[in-house]
Structure 1
Amino acid sequence: MLKRCGLGLLILLIGFLGFTHDVGAQSDITFANLEIDLWPEYDRPDMLVIYRITLDNSVKLPAQLTLRIPATVGAPYNVAYEDTADGMLYNLNYSTQIEGDWVRVSFTTPSPVLQIEYYDPGLKKEGALRTFEYLWPGDYAVRDLTVVVQQPPTATAWTLIPSMGSGVKGEDGLTYYHYAVGELKAGTSFVLRLRYEKANDDLSAPMQLVQPAAPIESAGSEQSGPWYTQVWVIVMGAGGVLILTGLLWWFALTRVPAQERTSKRLRHTSRAGISSPSGTSPLRGLYCPACGHRVQPEDRFCRTCGTRLQQG
């Protein structure tokens, strides 16, 4: 009997030590800075929540993190890290697990700078009245927490709890409210309540699709100008030049010895199979709407300025 009791106590002790080890590992990670951006009705009729995280210098990289977001969200819109070499944002793989009212988002980051985004459908609408309650669950200790709330252009009767004072107009023409929360220990939550009125469903920034390099003219557009500027004349002239060039090249090629022709074909064949990712041309004509630099269709962030891209 005593042996069985001793064995049971030993198992309980091992389990307790394992539990305390997990808690200690969680507390080893500290956020040096955390900025929480809340943008209601920005490009969707929900609340866009953005976490801008900088890990403390004491955190060893790569680091594994788990953040909780409301279960009603389902999954984050994006999880990204900032490359310390070029300062650009790159997507991170993540996993999710439902836990009661929360979804646990787990990922491993090679960088101390992170950006997580999700759309919260918890923005309630009753006629013109909008209400929202945000909760930071205190997953990690934060040395400096800042909350920034964006006000929709047509919002009135604007109320924030806690109060954030007067707003400041940003470069985009929208008004922003800043609140310096300061330091929060792990397990300490923060709650913000928002209330305002809005007579319409207009978005602050309607979905901006990545645009082609130049506007595409309709096929039925009226043609004008002298005959030599008409499109069909230009096309026929260019085609004639290409045909003449091809005939001259073929004539010159037939005069080259067979051995020399074979070596030239082999040199070009070695590059014939090279193509850009996904088998598409690297010159796709897609540009960032903010800075104008070329982007790839699969990019969610501009590799030049870091602007989040809306995919069509």
Structure 2
Amino acid sequence: MRFAMKLRKQFFSVMIALTFLLLTLPLRASAQTPDRLTALKISIWPEYDKPSVLVLLDGVLADASNLPRPISVLIPADARLYVTTWENPNGSLAPEQPAQQTRQDDGFTRVTFTTAQPRFRVEYYHDAVRGAPDKTIDFAYKSIGALDAATIEIQQPLKASNFAVTPATQTTRTDPDGFKYFVQTFANIAAGQTISAQIKYTKTDPNPSMPAPAAPLPVAANESNNWFLLIALVALGLAILLGFFLLQQRALATRPAAPTGSRNRKRGKPRAGAASVFCTQCGRALGADENFCPKCGAKRRAHG
């Protein structure tokens, strides 16, 4: 009898231990999931600097070990990815990181990139504004992993009126730039769960709240290039002229001078011994020692 009671107690003890293990197993598995987030802030800015919706995802990884490592988030399939990066310990953002995008069948695109810190940032633009001047935005965020706490902060455009969010937001705030924010909070979001919000407002002005800064005109760059080209051409021309001048000076310095004697001979008197007597018969010039003309044989006439 005592032995049976002992076995019964051991059986109940084992069953209680197994039950506790089964209940805590999902929590342990969730804690070890690399995609689990302790916090996620979703900032939704309609018509901020473009006519579309700018969405910023600021997340915190639950597992801060094994960094850097790749992480993934989901964005709408027709959204335009803008930034994937991480937040440094001092609060600044690291340079933009390359990302791989894989389109899924559920209307979302999986964005994967490597983060070196537990805090990360993803930004994208989504053409989700419908209607005018009464506008509607249907927002949806699908969580890949479990999410402990999520905050949705929706910015009202500066020139919008009749602004409303469904489900209703819990709090509002206004920043120094005059933007009003509507805030919703969620807790214990399961993997694969979708958070949704519908935004409605009236806005007749088609311009965004903060127009993007104009890109620098290419003309300024062309003018700068033209100045460099002009300076280079002038320098090249001066170098060519200087080289030509130096060559001319070198050529004049090395040219041989004409002999002085040859110039004097051209302008001087006839050489000594040159013929000055002519034959009276044929007119041939006679040398000083010729008494008879070698041509006609006439005798040289004596001069008195």
With normalisation by structure 2, the TM-score equals: 0.57
* Aligned mate of 1:182, from 187, 190, 204: 187
Question: 1:89 and 1:183 mapped to 2: Cα distance?
Answer: 29
Tell me by how many angstroms 1:76 deviates. 0.8
Matched residue type, 1:117: E
Q: How big is each residue's C-alpha offset from its partner over 1:164-189, in whole Å with a ceiling of 9 and x where there is no partner?
A: 15531112211111111122121221
* Change in 2 beyond 3 A, CA 1:202/1:44: same
Question: 1:153 and 1:98 mapped to 2: Cα distance?
Answer: 34
Question: 1:121 and 1:86 mapped to 2: Cα distance?
Answer: 30
Matched residue type, 2:81: P
In 1, are the aligned partners of 2:74 and 2:143 still within 8 Å (CA)? no
In 1, are the aligned partners of 2:38 and 2:147 still within 8 Å (CA)? yes
Matched residue type, 1:97: T
Q: Percent of pairs identical after alignment? A: 24
* Aligned counterpart, 1:260: none
* Aligned counterpart, 2:147: 142
Matched residue type, 1:111: Q
- Does 2:19 match 1:40? no
* Aligned mate of 2:175, from 154, 170, 182: 170
- Does 2:82 match 1:77? yes
In 1, are the aligned partners of 2:37 and 2:60 still within 8 Å (CA)? yes
With normalisation by structure 1, the TM-score equals: 0.56
Tell me by how many angstroms 1:35 deviates. 0.1
Q: How big is each residue's C-alpha offset from its partner over 1:112-167, in whole Å with a ceiling of 9 and x where there is no partner?
A: 11110000012112x31111111111212111100000001121111101111553
Question: 2:210 and 2:66 mapped to 1: Cα distance?
Answer: 38
* Aligned counterpart, 1:192: 197
Task: Structure 1 unaligned segments of length 5 or more: list them.
Answer: 1-22, 217-312
Question: 1:175 and 1:39 mapped to 2: Cα distance?
Answer: 11
* Aligned counterpart, 2:285: none
In 1, are the aligned partners of 2:73 and 2:143 still within 8 Å (CA)? no
* Aligned mate of 1:121, from 105, 127, 132: 127
- Does 2:112 match 1:106? yes
In 1, are the aligned partners of 2:35 and 2:72 still within 8 Å (CA)? no
Instruction: Report which of the two structures shows the higher radius of gyration computed on alpha carbons.
Output: 2
**2:95 alignment partner, SS class:** strand
- Does 2:98 match 1:89? no
* Aligned counterpart, 2:157: 152
In 2, are the aligned partners of 1:30 and 1:59 still within 8 Å (CA)? no
In 2, are the aligned partners of 1:83 and 1:111 still within 8 Å (CA)? yes
Q: How big is each residue's C-alpha offset from its partner over 1:212-263, in whole Å with a ceiling of 9 and x where there is no partner?
A: xxxx9xxxxxxxxxxxxxxxxxxxxxxxxxxxxxxxxxxxxxxxxxxxxxxx
* Aligned counterpart, 2:228: none
* Aligned counterpart, 2:259: none
Matched residue type, 2:41: E
In 2, are the aligned partners of 1:79 and 1:94 still within 8 Å (CA)? yes
Task: Structure 2 unaligned segments of length 5 or more: list them.
Answer: 1-28, 221-304
* Aligned counterpart, 1:201: 206
Matched residue type, 1:30: R
Cα RMSD after superposing both structures? 2.7
In 1, are the aligned partners of 2:84 and 2:97 still within 8 Å (CA)? yes
* Aligned counterpart, 1:49: 55
- Does 2:70 match 1:60? no
* Aligned counterpart, 2:248: none
**2:151 alignment partner, SS class:** strand
**1:167 alignment partner, SS class:** strand
* Change in 2 beyond 3 A, CA 1:54/1:202: same
Q: How big is each residue's C-alpha offset from its partner over 1:248-295, in whole Å with a ceiling of 9 and x where there is no partner?
A: xxxxxxxxxxxxxxxxxxxxxxxxxxxxxxxxxxxxxxxxxxxxxxxx
* Change in 2 beyond 3 A, CA 1:47/1:86: closer
Question: 2:62 and 2:169 mapped to 1: Cα distance?
Answer: 27
